[in-house]
Amino acid sequence: MADNRTYDIRSILEEMRQEYWQGLAESEESPEELLECVTFTLGGETYAFETIHASEVIRVPKLVKVPGVQQLIVGIFNLRGEIIAAVDIRSLLGIPSPQLTAGARIIVIKRDGFTTGIITEGVQGVVALPLEMFEPVVKSVAAGAREFIRGQINHDGRMAMLLDIVRLLESPELTVNHD
């Protein structure tokens, strides 16, 4: 037992060697870290979040209003027998809310015991964005909105904002509990 605690040069060297090889293998696999994101339009701009959070994209079905809840919960809809609320997060981000057109889509997000639909003006697609290209969100964006934006990226000549979707979903404005 005493041996294990003392200075053991051999095991330390072994550890260092392993770390070195591991690091080498990793850098070979991914020269730059890419973030696979779904991109969509909100307030006329492009926003994105990691595809792993999105479970499906659907057209905007008939939304049934829920009385007495905050405005950003637009209504509920039926997704194959499950009742899901659709939320309009544009007010939360403090961006303009143009009328939805036929191109509008809902991105369904499934989390632990919590399924919700994010209303978007349209879904653009799935792209791999290099993580290191992201820059911190500019300070001119209101602090309340900055909380939900992890950064912006100039991708193919267009700005895209990376949403912190996990944080957004945890925000109390998104849930209702009148108890």
Partner 1 sequence: MATKYLDIFLKEAEEHIGSLQNRLLVLEKEPGNKVLIHDLLRNAHTLKGSARMLGFEDISVIAHRMEDFLKEMEDGERAVDSAGVDLLLQGTDAINRMTDALAKGAPSPIDLEKFIAAFDSGGSTAEAITTQESGEAETQIDTVRTSVKTLDSLVNLLGELIINKKRFEDKTSDLKEICRESDGMDNLARLKDFHRNLEEDVLYLGFIIQQLHAEAMALRMLPLKTITDGYVRMVRDLSKSQGKEVNFEIVGDHIEVDRILLESLKPMFLHMLTNAVDHGIELPEERVARGKPRAGTIRLTARHEGNSVAIEIRDDGAGMDPHRIKQTALRRGVIDREEAEMMRDEEALYLTLRQGFSTSEIVTDISGRGVGMDVVKMSIEKVKGNLTLKSEVGAYTEVQLQLPLTLAVIDALIVTCAEQPFAIPLSYVQETIKIRAEDISTVAGKEVISVRNSTVPLISLAGLLGLQEQKALISGGKVSAVILKQRDQAVACIIDRNNGTSEIVVKSLGGQLKRVRHTFGATILGDGNPALILDVPDIFTTSEGVSSVDMRKAIHESQIRASRGSVLVVDDSITTRTMEKSILTAHGYDVTIAISAEDALEKVATAAFDLVISDVEMPGLNGFQLTARLRAMEEYREVPVIIVSSLSKDEHKRQAMEAGAQAYIVKGAFEQGTLLDTVESLIG
Closest distance of CB 55 from partner 1, Å: 14
Closest distance of CB 74 from partner 1, Å: 12
Please report whether residue 114 would count as binding partner 1 according to CB under 8 A.
Answer: yes
Euclidean distance between CA atoms 64 and 86, whole angstroms: 10
Please report whether residue 177 would count as binding partner 1 according to CB under 8 A.
Answer: yes
Please report whether residue 65 would count as binding partner 1 according to CB under 8 A.
Answer: yes
- In this structure, what are the phi and psi dihedrals at residue 22, rounded to the nearest 5 degrees? -60, -45
Closest distance of CB 95 from partner 1, Å: 22
Q: Which of 24, 62, 140, 157 binds partner 1 (CB under 8 A)?
A: 62
Which CB atom, from 86 or from 129, has the smaller least distance to partner 1?
86
Give, for 93, the enclosing helix (H) or strand (E).
helix 90-93
Euclidean distance between CA atoms 33 and 20, whole angstroms: 19
Pair of tokens at residue 58: 């659907």
Hey, which residues between 71 and 110 contact partner 1 (CB under 8 A)?
Answer: 73, 76-78, 81-85
CA distances from 155 to 11, 48, 134 (A): 46, 11, 10
Please report whether residue 54 would count as binding partner 1 according to CB under 8 A.
Answer: no
Pair of tokens at residue 128: 């791999």
CA 1 to chain centre: 48
User: What is the contact surface with partner 1 in residues (CB under 8 A)?
Assistant: 61-62, 64-69, 73, 76-78, 81-85, 113-116, 174-179
